Amino acid sequence: MAKLNLLQAINQALITAMTTNEKVVVFGEDVGHFGGVFRATSHLQEKFGKARCFNTPLTEQGIIGFANGLAAQGSVPVAEIQFGDYIFPAFDQIVNETAKFRYRSGGQFSCGTLTIRTPYGGGIAGGHYHSQSPEAFFSHIPGLKVVVPRDPYQAKGLLLGAIRDANPVLFLEPKRLYRASVCEVPEEDYAIPLGKAEVIQQGTDITLLAWGAQVEIVQRAADMALEDGVSCEVIDLRSILPWDAQCVADSVMKTGRLLINHEAPITSGFGSEIAARIQEQCFLYLEAPVTRVCGLDTPYPLAHEKEYMPDEFKTYEALKRLLNY
Amino acid sequence: MNDRNHLGNVALTHDVRIIENGLLDIPMLAILDHEGQLYPDAIEPELSKEQALKMYHAMVYTRMLDERMVAAQRQGRISFYLACTGEEAAVVGSAAALSDNDMIMSQYREQGALVYRGYTSAQFMNQMFSNRLDPNKGRQMPIHYGDKALNFMTISSPLGTQIPQAAGYAYGQKLAGQEALTICYFGEGAASEGDFHAGLNMAAVLNCPVIFLCRNNGYAISTPAEEQFAGDGIASRGIGYGVRTIRVDGNDPLAVFSATVKARELALSLSQPVLIEAMTYRLAAHSTSDDPSGYRSKNEEEKWRLKDPIARFKTWLLNKGWLSNTHTDDYTKQVRSEILQALKEAEKVAINPIDDIVEDVYDSVPWHLQEQREALIAHIKQYPKRYPKTAGENN
């Protein structure tokens, strides 16, 4: 099995998707000949032609509006927004159009074939316009699915799952892992179903929950805790919407403690939704309040990036407070 | 109240004729040719020796700054840089036609306008090293300058957002009775954003004294202009929105200057927007994160190097007897050393204290951010080695 980084895994997933379904069309700013600013779409135009992989003008609302129409027609668009921070001109198209096509037409029309790929997250000295984690905005849109992979294996399987899912999917790619995360990725075609979390480490004392690039952060905190004799269960949520509440609840009923980590600002982050749901479902099992270790309620800073991040040390300290509650 | 009649000026035709693209045929104003000679029937702008030299110095300074900072990024001293190389005339030539009271809203490749306004080497460096002397407090990536004293709005990375803002700013200037306008810079790529269309339309309908200056430099990162739009550049759109429009050779500082002087006169006297499309070429990579060899030929770049705006301007100044080669060499040497000195000083300056992390989110720090700051400071004290840039402070 070949070792791939996250970008190569995404590239491979796109090749698989385009090879197995001639309706798949890939486009966005600079994705054509150049292969995207991160090179996730490298060589797709060479392989599949300019009609199926192409540059668009520089207009995010145009890209998603076009993608909505293309999806409604029955093609399978995979649209790239160059940075998650630049998705907001397309917010209207996503909120009012992508997500509501099916509902408003009584199921006659839909954008179900659409996948929107976009890099998100910090840790790359990108300041507030190349670092944001916008998943919570999109978790509030009935009709849309939101998916975040943590490594190359997951990225390939989840992206194929997203492209083949019968609902529009926002696929958020943790850009600081693009080249940093490397693992074995099977060459064959495989899709990971959406909406399912994964328990990636079994434990008994506390559940640590994260997604995307923060999964490795909570894993590091779990390693630190292990030296104190603490057994952590680590869950990768993988899908933000719909999310696998049962998987998280099962774990919390076992460990009695839940710590959620996300990079986005804490207030109205997706951790809030998880905390509310879990306290309802697991109230009598909880040994301590559900706790969040998240970004600050500030725009994403540059000089203070390291201080802003919900890193393993902040996670470890919060974890200790939960155990001693 | 008059009855509206939106068909009032529409002539009738009885032919089924669909209008084709390209009928406008907008010419390009050119005053200096590629060799730096005046075109025979072109009229030189009224430009004093002093101002011409100030423009020339700003263009040369910008080129030197760009060279030094691209190298500094390669050396790992700063994280990012974005050069204006090849577009200095479009930026400096237009900035020179403004009053210091005019507001500049730029995209991110207009450092030459700041140089012309008097932004110092130290100011450039403090911004790029995100240190505590940066007036934007180290919160943004390098090249996102902003200076209230110089009427230069702080740069935002999202493309085109400044275009409707410029219309609004200019409207406010008009309401306040100021003898000043706003100039808004952007590229031909950004002109594909919805904000461009919204901004031009708003400015035209609401009679805003704003100059929209599009640097049509042929590329938006890797995307060539022919994949960006199918019409006749950006100028034709101005006409569609009812905005007075001119297209200029963006590598000709005199043409850009003349066009902007005229645009400013019209914008202020009529309280109306003017669009300038400056035809130029991005000789630089998009940024230090980009490698143009993946999408354009060296040959193409070489052709544009021959149209270098600085060389062209220099020839004109030499012919005028306003400049000597010795002066140019001395100036270049002096600027190079000044920039390097400022760089060395700025990289030694610490970043802002950690207290600052929650400032300016609101006008004052609300309770929840106070809480978050206290928790963060306590955490840094517990793990000083993990946060070396802020752990040494006496917070």
DSSP B248: E
Instruction: Give the number of A-B residue pairs with CB atoms closer than 8 Å.
Output: 134
Nearest CA in chain A to B191: A58
Give A40's contacts (C-beta < 8 A, 6+ positions apart).
A7, A10, A11, A14, A31, A80, A117, A173, A178
Q: What is the mean pLDDT of residues B90-109?
A: 98
Residue B303: pLDDT over 90: yes
**Cα-based distances in Å from B109 to A8, A59, A109, B142, B309:** 32, 19, 44, 12, 16
Note the Cα A146 to chain centre separation in Å. 6
Of A112, A233, A238, the residue nearest A174 (C-alpha): A238
Gap between the Cα atoms of A104 and A102, Å rounded: 6
Average pLDDT score, chain B: 96
B251: its two tokens: 């590598």
Contact B351 A311 (CB under 8 A): no
Residue A242 preceded by cis peptide, ω within 30 = yes
Give B178's contacts (C-beta < 8 A, 6+ positions apart).
B101
pLDDT of B341 reads 98
Residue B22: pLDDT over 70: no
pLDDT of B392 reads 83
Of A30, A125, A129, the CB nearest to B79: A125
The yes-or-no answer on residue A130 being catalytic is yes
**Cα-based distances in Å from B206 to A154, B178, B193, B201, B305:** 52, 17, 20, 8, 41
pLDDT band at residue B9 using 50, 70 and 90 as cut-offs? confident
Give the residue numbers in A contacting B (CB under 8 Å), as ranges. Answer: 29-30, 32-35, 37, 54-55, 57-62, 85-86, 88-89, 125-130, 266-267, 296-299, 301-304, 306-308, 311, 313-314, 317
Residue B333: pLDDT over 70: yes
Helix residue spans in chain B (DSSP H): 49-74, 88-95, 111-117, 121-128, 162-175, 194-205, 225-228, 235-240, 253-270, 298-305, 309-320, 325-346, 367-382, 388-391
Domain B49-348 has CATH 3.40.50.300: no
pLDDT of B8 reads 78
Of A237, A80, A82, A81, the residue nearest A150 (C-alpha): A237
pLDDT band at residue B393 using 50, 70 and 90 as cut-offs? low
pLDDT of A214 reads 98
Q: Are A70 and A77 in contact (CB under 8 A)?
A: yes
pLDDT of B21 reads 66
Contact A302 B138 (CB under 8 A): yes
The yes-or-no answer on residue A304 being catalytic is no
pLDDT band at residue B5 using 50, 70 and 90 as cut-offs? confident
Q: Which residues 352-371 of B have a C-beta within 8 angstroms of A? A: 352, 354, 356-358, 361, 368-369
Among B134, B196, B354, B357, most A C-beta atoms within 10 A, so best to mutate, is B357
* SS3 of residue B302 by DSSP: helix
pLDDT band at residue B20 using 50, 70 and 90 as cut-offs? confident
B223 φ/ψ angles, rounded to the nearest 5 degrees = -85, 115
Q: In Å, how far is B332's CA from the nearest CA of chain A? A: 32
Nearest CA in chain A to B228: A57
Chain A positions touching B137 (Cβ under 8 A) are 303
Contact A32 B227 (CB under 8 A): yes
pLDDT of B395 reads 41
Chain A positions touching B195 (Cβ under 8 A) are 89
Query: pLDDT under 50 in chain A at which residues?
Result: none
In chain B, where are the structural domains located?
A: 49-348, 354-386
Map tokens 């752990």 to a residue: B391
pLDDT, greater one: B164 or B17: B164
- For B206-240, b where at least 16 C-beta lie within 10 A, e where not — what string? bbbbbbbbbbbbbbbbbbebebbbeebbbbbbbee
For chain A, what is the HEC assignment? CEEEEHHHHHHHHHHHHHHHCCCEEEEECCCCCCCCCCCCCCCHHHHHCCCCEEECCCCHHHHHHHHHHHHHHCCEEEEECCCHHHCHHHHHHHHHHHCCHHHHCCCCCCCCCCEEEEEECCCCCCHHHCCCCCHHHHCCCCCCEEECCCCHHHHHHHHHHHHHCCCCEEEEEEHHHCCCCEEEECCCCCCCCCCCCEEEECCCCEEEEECCCHHHHHHHHHHHHHCCCCCEEEEECCEEECCCHHHHHHHHHHHCCEEEEEEEECCCCHHHHHHHHHHHHHHHHCCCCCEEEEECCCCCCCCCHHHHCCCHHHHHHHHHHHHCC
Q: Are A68 and A114 in contact (CB under 8 A)?
A: yes
pLDDT of A268 reads 98
* SS3 of residue B220 by DSSP: strand
Catalytic pick among A130, A135, A173, A312: A130
Contact B358 A296 (CB under 8 A): yes
Give A307's contacts (C-beta < 8 A, 6+ positions apart).
A301, B354, B357, B376, B380, B387, B389, B390
pLDDT of B394 reads 47
Q: Quote the percentage of chain B above a pLDDT of 70.
A: 98
